Amino acid sequence: MVKHSSRIELSQSSLTNNVNFIRKKAGPDVRISSVVKANAYGHGIMQFVKMAEKAGIDHFATASAFEAEEVFEAKSASSDVMIMGILYDEDLEWAISNGIEFYVFNYERLPLVLDIAKRLGTKAHVHIEVETGANRTGMQASDFPKTLSFLKKHQEHVEFTGLCTHFGGAESFSNQFKITSQHERYKGFLKECKKKKMSPGIRHIACSAAALAYKDTVYDMVRIGVAQYGFWPSPDIYYAHLQETGSRTSNGALKRIFTWKTDVMDLRHVVAGEFIGYGTAYQATQDMTVAVLPLGYSNGYPRGQSNRGFVLIKGKKAPIVGLINMNLFMVDVSHIAGVEVGDEVVLVGKQKNNTINISSFTQVTQLMNNEMLSRLPAAIPRSIVK
């Protein structure tokens, strides 16, 4: 099989560490739903699902039916899949027949769900997502009583698997008033359930940030995205953890599972005064040795790193010189002895005593961690390492 221009390695031990930390924070009886939308935040759904199951996860959440199908093909029989976002009418039959759980946020969808479930002779597993103040998706309070009546009447065919909502900005403590308000509204929906004697199978509202910082939002299940991949949802959540533990560092509470590598494609000797790459973005001020790397912005490496970023070669930082092209960019290796064609290059991750974090990209390019990771092409091979 021919080689790709770069490769991603995923650490099983780091993921297991992260899941154990989250489980300790959430509590032993709380189910963890692993959010694997956007190709598992760029880590690769096929590989990540297998790793997560090995770490004890048995519930996966996606943003679409398309992603759910990928998870369905990768998971073991004992794991469950939940669609939080787009599920087209024409895909409802696939979801219901395969036991896929899915959000319903419009009352109008329920009769169609019922018809399909009856025809298939199997139960549909629905989570009612309610509107509490994020104003994205979520059922309005005015539609909730008739929804509960419908579920009660047709529970033989439509199971009230969950009641959920989504916080709009739990990662920032400046939004605390909003999160508190959303939580209070959610409690109102729970009261309505109690009044109608129609309780959901599971209650879930907490994302990574809420699960780590707002203990009162942890109900029966938490939906964990960014934290399982080893990233703190925000500085606020990180510093709250330090305060809680009385520690100066997180002591490896969350570990990055992701390393991105390539190889030196060519070496160039550039004389002082010459320009490197397209245009006149970089001019050599002295004689230089430059390594050419075989990837660029088409491979998910941000163009904003031009003349700003670094890679690791032989454990040392090599600065990017010139503009990042579609499929090539250059780094200065004048200060690194013995660099050869074929040498391993770390784009993100650790090499010897040096590390390049995703945050070094985000500070320069204004990309969020999630945005940077989720843009990585699915074509880059991902492999699981110890």
Please, what sign has the CA dihedral across residues 87, 92, 94, 97? positive
pLDDT of residue 364: 64
Q: Which residues contact 240 (CB under 8 A, 6 or more apart)?
A: 173, 212, 213
CA distances from 96 to 105, 111, 157, 164 (A): 17, 14, 10, 19
Over its C-alpha atoms, the chain yields an Rg (Å, rounded) of 24
pLDDT of residue 380: 98
User: Does the 13-245 domain belong in CATH 3.20.20.10?
Assistant: yes
Could you tell me the pTM of the whole model?
Answer: 0.95
Helices (H), the chain: 12-26, 37-41, 45-54, 65-74, 92-97, 109-120, 144-153, 176-195, 208-213, 235-245, 358-365, 369-374
* Residue with tokens 């997502």, as numbered in its chain: 129
**pLDDT tens over the chain, length 386 residues:** 899 999 999 999 999 999 999 999 999 999 999 999 999 999 999 999 999 999 999 999 999 999 999 999 999 999 999 999 999 999 999 999 999 999 999 999 999 999 999 999 999 999 999 999 999 999 999 999 999 999 999 999 999 999 999 999 999 999 999 999 999 999 999 999 999 999 999 999 999 999 999 999 999 999 999 999 999 998 899 999 999 999 888 888 999 999 999 999 999 999 999 999 999 999 999 999 999 999 999 999 999 999 999 999 999 999 999 999 999 999 999 999 999 999 999 999 999 999 999 888 776 666 677 888 999 999 999 999 99
Residue 377 CA to residue 300 CA, distance in Å, equals: 6
Structure tokens at 118: 């009856």
Q: Hey, do 13-245 and 258-356 end up sharing a CATH topology, with the first three levels equal? A: no
Q: What are the extents of the domains in the chain?
A: 13-245, 258-356
pLDDT of residue 366: 63
Q: Which residues contact 167 (CB under 8 A, 6 or more apart)?
A: 134, 179, 182, 205, 206, 207, 209, 210, 217
Which residues are 129's β-sheet partners? 164
pLDDT of residue 359: 82
pLDDT of residue 361: 79
CATH homologous superfamily, domain 258-356: Lyase, Ornithine Decarboxylase; Chain A, domain 1 (2.40.37.10)
Residue 291 CA to residue 277 CA, distance in Å, equals: 12
* Residue with tokens 């939308």, as numbered in its chain: 37
CA distances from 306 to 261, 295, 324, 384 (A): 18, 13, 5, 30
pLDDT of residue 360: 81
